[in-house]
Amino acid sequence: MPEGQHWDKLLAAAIFAAEEHQGQVRKGHRGSPYVTHPLTVAKTLFEIGGIRDTQTQVAAILHDTLEDTPATKADIRDRFGQAVLDIVLEVTDDKRLSKMERKRLQVVHAPDLSLPARLVKFGDKLVNCWDILHDPPEGWDLTRRRHYIQWGADVLAQIRGTNAPLENAFDAMLAEAESALDFRIQPFDTVNQRPWAP
Ligand code: ZN
């Protein structure tokens, strides 16, 4: 498909996400609208990961709508199709579970993700860890920031081999975090010592 053919879908996804996330603001970031997060994930996949696949990009833009907004599966299926819904479902946590259990399950389930879902997961963790490193939410102490980035590293350790440029960017972020937050990322074979031990 020639580039540009699917702009209508990308723009429709951006509008849908903006409307669904309406009123939500990001922690940190001087209270900027939440939708800048999924849009940044899509931009990161495009610019760093070289991802041009429209379904993956639309899913990236919509990736938090089922988890964090009133949007339903039918809303997404009707507007963007079953394939996009399937990707979004793969990266949606079950909010009935405790936070720690959701963290644990992200590590456990990462190897089961499809390629598009792995890409969205990679972009999401990369953007979130950048945020925690450079613009942490108010009240987050060093320990909490270290734990968050360690958890991101543990999830992505399960899906290495997905996209080299994204992994290089993530590794650069980890090196910067180790220096700025003065800690060492623990290797995945020690994951059972973490609070979210799988
Ligand atoms: Zn996200």
pLDDT digits (tens, 9 = 90+) for 21-34: 999 998 776 778 99
Give 33's strand partners: 25
Q: Is residue 14 part of a domain?
A: yes
Residues in a beta bridge with 25: 33
Among residues 53, 67, 75, 171, the one annotated as catalytic is: 67
- Residue 12 covered by a domain: yes
CA distances, 67 to each of 20, 90, 94, 98, 174 (Å):
11, 11, 8, 14, 27
Question: Is residue 47 annotated as part of the catalytic site, yes or no?
Answer: no
Residue 35 included in any domain = yes
| Per-position DSSP letters for 145-159, written without gaps between them | HHHHHHHHHHHHHTT
- Tell how far the Cα of 59 is from the centroid of ligand 1, in angstroms: 11
pTM for the complete prediction? 0.95
Q: How far is the CA of 63 from the centre of ligand 1 (A)?
A: 6
Task: Give, in order, the Cα–Cα distances in Å from 99 to each of 5, 103, 150.
Answer: 40, 6, 16
Catalytic residue among 68, 171, 176, 178: 68
Q: Which single residue is written with the structure tokens 């993530």?
A: 170
From CA 6, how far away is CA 155, in angstroms rounded? 31
CATH of the domain at 63: 1.10.3210.10
In a domain, 65, yes or no: yes
Q: Is residue 125 part of a domain?
A: yes
Instruction: Report which secondary-structure segment, H or E, holds 128.
Output: helix 115-134
In a domain, 164, yes or no: yes
Rounded distance between C-alpha atoms, residue 87 and residue 51, angstroms: 15
Task: Tell me the pLDDT tens digit for each residue of 126-180.
Answer: 999 999 999 998 899 999 999 999 999 999 999 999 999 999 999 999 999 999 9
Residue 29 in any domain: the answer is yes
For 168, which DSSP code?
H
Closest CA to 56 of 107, 106, 90: 90
8 A C-beta contact, residue 57 and residue 10 = yes
Number of folded domains that form the chain: 1
Q: Is 167 a catalytic residue?
A: no
Output the pLDDT for position 143.
Answer: 96
User: Is 198 inside any structural domain?
Assistant: no
Domain that holds residue 139: 3-193
Q: How far apart are CA 142 and CA 56, in angstroms?
A: 34
Helix, strand, coil share (%) of the chain residues, nearest 5: 65, 0, 30
Confidence of residue 3 (pLDDT cuts 50, 70, 90): low
Q: How many CB atoms lie within 10 A of CB 173?
A: 21
* Residue 115 pLDDT class (50, 70, 90 cuts): very high
